[in-house]
Amino acid sequence: MSRYLLLLLAAAAPALWAQTLLSTLPNGMKVLVEEDNRAPVVSVRLWYRVGSVDEHPGKTGLSHALEHMMFKGTKAVPAGQFSRRIAALGGSDNAYTNRTDTVYTTDIASRHLDEVLRMEADRMGGLNFSDRDFANEMDVIREERRMRTDDSPSGKMWETLNMKMWRKPFNQAPVIGYMADLHTLKADDLRAWYRQWYAPNNAMLVIAGDVDAQKTIKTAQRIFGGIPARDLPPRNDEAESPAAAAPVSAEVAAATAQPLVSINWRVPKAEKIGDETPYALDMLSLVLAGTDSARYDKKLQRGDAVALAVSAGYNDYGRKNALFSVTAMPNGGITPAALKARLMGEIRDIAVKGVTQQELDLVRVPVETARIFAKDSVRNRADTLGALEQNGFGWQSEDETLRRLLAVTPAQVQAAARLLLAAPAAEITVLPQQNAAQPQKGRLKTARPAQNAAHFERNKAEKP
């Protein structure tokens, strides 16, 4: 038995002694490294603090368009070669833009980390795309907008919500930009945007995986240290108080066989780790639709089968705003109004009668389990630690945020439901276009269909 115990301890030793280090290079670039030596792989995330909330009317979509152009070449790495070289090394790469950040991702064998960092530093300081590549890529981006927004029921729903719910133009605008702006942006607009925002003192490098943290920080200094810091423009203040919200009710037509309904509230955002209301709202969303035993899933989908799919969530909206959203697709002949009444009925029931400790326990277990399993992925580690640090909570707060979520009481969930009932709601209904297929008939008592899941998975770049 002792032999097997020694083997187990030896296998666990790397994780027990793993370090997580955060350092700021002399040029202002932050470097966050977490060691995980269980497999010879590494995940790299390079965050830039720029997104759609930094844009101005007439120039929407700049940040997302520049994300595309970052793959269009430098003098050392010609257009299209970045991803080809990563693939040739056995890795994968991607990028996304949201309202506040642009992030570049690479997952690769750890022995190729230096090469990845050299290419990232090269395009941080030496992007050099042609007007022709810009024109070609804008065609791609306009088609992406058609696919994700103009021809997407959920895309139309979120765009309509943003335009109706918010007052500041950069909060209203879609991350991908308005189509009119995508036809008028110039290559020099993106070059200027790049010079404004893509600087080491506006970036954070996150690395998780099979590395030595101290040596990796020194490597980052060697590779990125020669890129000079730059004066940065002020960022737009996107804060809009929940107290200033007004009721919204809007309908929009889309190419869908089934309607979509969405009920949304502007709610308090977490400003610091100890804020209680965001955790209560998050737990309320889990009670409503977070697990198979949640109220919406159990009653509206599998029970009475009035909904084909339902989701609920508390979502940060940029750095200073937050939303609580409920979205659903009615089943068969159920009207959008009837489904919205059922959705609100469950929230009202919690506000009046509360929830039991047993109901919370049924939610807590799968949430805690999912968080534990997520720690087994270096990809998840890089994403999670980077998001916590970038949003000002600090990478060390991960366990504390989970502890506070799991400590939410029935009384706090009830208070969160009452908060929603007392706040003005923004209701968006997506209706089938006249030439769209007729709604399905009958009752559906199975889990949400895969073909409908896309309606409830907001694109990462478009997360409101």
The per-residue pLDDT for 317 is: 58
pLDDT digits (tens, 9 = 90+) for 397-437: 999 999 999 999 999 999 999 999 999 999 999 999 873 44
Burial environment of residue 6 by CB neighbours within 10 A (0 to 12, 13 to 18, 19 or more)? exposed
At how many degrees (to 10) do helices 187-197 and 62-69 cross?
Answer: 90
In angstroms, the first-to-last Cα distance of the chain is 54
Q: Are residues 248 and 147 in the same domain?
A: no
pLDDT above 90: percentage of residues in the chain: 85
- Give me the helices (H) in 317-356, please: 336-353
Q: Are residues 386 and 301 in the same domain?
A: yes
Instruction: Check pLDDT > 70 for residue 460.
Output: no
Match 């080809």 to its residue by tokens. 84
Sheet containing strand 92-97, edge to edge, reads 20-24, 30-35, 203-209, 41-48, 102-109, 92-97
Higher pLDDT, 318 or 170: 170
Q: Are residues 324 and 200 in the same domain?
A: no
pLDDT digits (tens, 9 = 90+) for 90-106: 999 999 999 999 999 99
Q: How is residue 390 written in tokens?
A: 């970038």
- The answer to whether 326 touches 284, Cβ cutoff 8 Å, is no
Could you tell me which residues are beta bridge partners of residue 261?
328, 429
- The answer to whether 181 touches 60, Cβ cutoff 8 Å, is yes
What average pLDDT does the segment 2-29 reach? Answer: 69
Burial environment of residue 13 by CB neighbours within 10 A (0 to 12, 13 to 18, 19 or more)? exposed
What φ, ψ does residue 439 adopt, rounded to 5°?
A: -60, 150
The amino acid sitting at 296 is Y
What φ, ψ does residue 374 adopt, rounded to 5°?
A: -65, -30
What average pLDDT does the segment 277-281 reach? Answer: 96
Strands 248-254 and 426-432: parallel
Q: Are residues 35 and 162 in the same domain?
A: yes
C-alpha 406/C-alpha 402 separation (Å) is: 6
Given 225, 250, 274, the domain boundary residue is 225
Q: Are residues 341 and 407 in the same domain?
A: yes
Q: Are residues 220 and 249 in the same domain?
A: no
The per-residue pLDDT for 316 is: 75
Long-range contact set of residues 453-457: C-beta below 8 Å, sequence gap at least 24: 453/309, 454/154, 455/153, 455/154, 455/260, 455/309, 455/327, 455/329, 456/154, 456/309, 456/311, 456/327
C-alpha 380/C-alpha 41 separation (Å) is: 13
What is the SS3 assignment for 241?
Answer: coil
C-alpha 280/C-alpha 411 separation (Å) is: 9
pLDDT above 70: percentage of residues in the chain: 90
Q: Are residues 104 and 204 in the same domain?
A: yes
The amino acid sitting at 53 is V
Q: How is residue 21 written in tokens?
A: 């280090």
- Looking at the domain assignment, is residue 237 inside a domain? no
Residue 188 sits in a domain whose CATH number is 3.30.830.10
- Looking at the domain assignment, is residue 5 inside a domain? no
Strands 203-209 and 321-330: unpaired
- Looking at the domain assignment, is residue 390 inside a domain? yes
Q: Which has the closest alpha carbon to 391: 206, 198, 211, 196? A: 206
Q: Are residues 269 and 342 in the same domain?
A: yes
Distance of CA 329 to the CA centre of its chain: 22
Instruction: Check pLDDT > 60 for residue 14.
Output: no
Given 198, 225, 252, the domain boundary residue is 225
- Looking at the domain assignment, is residue 6 inside a domain? no
Q: What is residue 448's DSSP assignment?
A: P
Could you tell me which residues are beta bridge partners of residue 430?
252, 260
- Looking at the domain assignment, is residue 3 inside a domain? no
The amino acid sitting at 11 is A
Q: Range of 132's domain?
A: 20-225
The per-residue pLDDT for 434 is: 74
Q: How does the average pLDDT of the chain come out, rounded?
A: 90
C-alpha 118/C-alpha 122 separation (Å) is: 6
The per-residue pLDDT for 453 is: 30
Instruction: Check pLDDT > 60 for residue 276.
Output: yes
C-alpha 42/C-alpha 34 separation (Å) is: 10
Instruction: Check pLDDT > 50 for residue 445.
Output: no
- Looking at the domain assignment, is residue 215 inside a domain? yes
- The answer to whether 225 touches 31, Cβ cutoff 8 Å, is no
Number of domains in the chain: 2
Q: Which has the closest alpha carbon to 261: 327, 305, 324? A: 327
- Looking at the domain assignment, is residue 458 inside a domain? no
Q: Are residues 212 and 248 in the same domain?
A: no
At how many degrees (to 10) do helices 398-406 and 378-390 cross?
Answer: 90
What pTM value is reported for the model? 0.89
- The answer to whether 307 touches 296, Cβ cutoff 8 Å, is yes
Q: Are residues 197 and 338 in the same domain?
A: no
C-alpha 391/C-alpha 383 separation (Å) is: 12
The per-residue pLDDT for 454 is: 30
Q: How is residue 251 written in tokens?
A: 């309908």
Q: Are residues 420 and 329 in the same domain?
A: yes
Q: Are residues 286 and 332 in the same domain?
A: yes
C-alpha 402/C-alpha 387 separation (Å) is: 15
Q: Which has the closest alpha carbon to 154: 259, 25, 281, 21? A: 259
- The answer to whether 352 touches 272, Cβ cutoff 8 Å, is no
pLDDT digits (tens, 9 = 90+) for 310-365: 999 998 756 789 999 999 999 988 999 999 999 999 999 999 999 999 999 999 99
- Looking at the domain assignment, is residue 426 inside a domain? yes
